[in-house]
């Protein structure tokens, strides 16, 4: 059996000055365990540039490529563009409807990312009908899934392993533990459809702090909720065997 590509992941770390020093010591030398570190949004608590600097300082200690999507908290202060520039200046890759590939010893890793947005799940989702405000809400949820689909399509067949990274959940199975009344605000089934239609090997998300780690899309793609309160660790590593050798 060939070596797997080792994907480390975490989300919802909500960095601020009071958490400085928590992650850096745990991320030093991560290359011994993983080929890349993916962060599933909510890097900050209130979306300020100062908090983003704390995140960059802590996660800059990782000696592997760091790829992130932003979360809803990272948009709170309207500084998301400045946060993106800061992180990219610090050598991190911020994905929002975009994708990238990395060469690893075990094969080529492709990652497509998007924050995502609310919508709900099949039979229990917002409808594109009625007031303009409702149509705008629903349309944005649908649009984020279309953006993820395009980013995954852009990867094509080049990667040996493809990972979809989002903040909002693509399935409801990983939301179990959260009050059902708020599930429509935690995920979006159309993200799951995009994942199933594009040959993804692993889907990672955050946002659901009281959910559970493991789930599957309808087509059987593994989904992992890597919100830090769920995995209870600085990161978790997932081994993905390249398709060419699976």
Q: How far is it, in rounded angstroms, from Cα 180 to Cα 171?
A: 13
Binned at pLDDT 50, 70 and 90, residue 184 comes out as very high
How does pLDDT run across 147-182, given as a tens digit for each residue?
Answer: 999 999 999 888 999 999 999 999 999 999 999 999
Q: How far is it, in rounded angstroms, from Cα 13 to Cα 54?
A: 11
8 Å CB contact between 60 and 91: yes
Longest CA pairwise span in the chain (Å): 56
Per-residue pLDDT, 127: 82
pLDDT of 2 strictly over 60:
yes
What domains can you pick out in the chain, each with its CATH number?
A: 5-245 (3.60.21.10)
pLDDT of 3 strictly over 80:
yes
How does pLDDT run across 34-75, given as a tens digit for each residue?
Answer: 999 999 999 999 999 999 999 999 999 999 999 999 999 999
How does pLDDT run across 212-234, given as a tens digit for each residue?
Answer: 999 999 999 999 999 999 999 99
Q: How far is it, in rounded angstroms, from Cα 198 to Cα 203?
A: 12
Distance from chain centroid for Cα 49: 20
The helix (run of H) or strand (run of E) holding residue 236 is: strand 236-240
Q: Residue 173 carries which DSSP code?
A: G
Q: Which residues contact 170 (CB under 8 A, 6 or more apart)?
A: 116, 164, 187, 188, 189, 191, 192, 194, 195, 203, 205, 217, 223
Q: Where do runs of H (alpha helix) occur along the chain?
A: 24-27, 49-59, 80-89, 132-155, 189-196, 228-231
How does pLDDT run across 77-96, given as a tens digit for each residue?
Answer: 999 999 999 999 999 999 99
pLDDT of 245 strictly over 60:
no
How does pLDDT run across 14-36, given as a tens digit for each residue?
Answer: 999 899 999 999 999 999 999 99
Residue 11 CB neighbours (<10 A): 32
- Please give the model's pTM, rounded to 2 decimal places: 0.96
Per-residue pLDDT, 246: 46
Cα angle, residue 5 at apex, residues 36 and 174 outer, rounded to 5°: 75
pLDDT of 124 strictly over 90:
no
């Amino acid at each position: 059996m060939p070596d797997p590509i080792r994907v480390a992941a975490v989300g919802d770390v909500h960095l601020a000055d009071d958490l400085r020093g928590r992650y850096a010591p745990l991320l030093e030398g991560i290359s011994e365990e993983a080929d890349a570190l993916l962060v599933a949004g909510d890097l900050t608590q209130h979306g300020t540039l100062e908090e983003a600097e704390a995140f960059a300082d802590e996660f800059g200690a990782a000696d592997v490529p760091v790829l992130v999507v932003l979360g809803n908290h990272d948009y709170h202060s309207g500084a998301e563009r400045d946060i993106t520039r800061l992180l990219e200046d610090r050598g991190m890759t911020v994905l929002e409807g975009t994708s990238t590939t990395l060469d690893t010893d075990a094969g080529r890793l492709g990652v497509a990312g998007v924050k995502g947005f609310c919508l709900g799940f099949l039979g229990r989702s917002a409808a594109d009908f009625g007031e303009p405000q409702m149509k705008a809400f629903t349309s944005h949820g649908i649009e984020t899934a279309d953006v993820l689909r395009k980013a995954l399509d852009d990867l094509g067949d080049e990667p040996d392993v493809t990972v979809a990274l989002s903040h909002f959940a693509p399935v409801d199975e990983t939301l179990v533990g959260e009050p059902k009344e708020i599930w429509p605000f935690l995920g979006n089934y159309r993200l799951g459809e995009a994942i199933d239609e594009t040959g993804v090997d692993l889907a990672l998300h955050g946002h659901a702090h009281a959910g559970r780690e493991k789930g599957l899309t309808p087509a059987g793609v593994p989904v992992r909720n890597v919100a830090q309160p769920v995995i209870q660790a600085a990161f978790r590593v997932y081994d993905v065997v390249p398709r060419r050798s699976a």
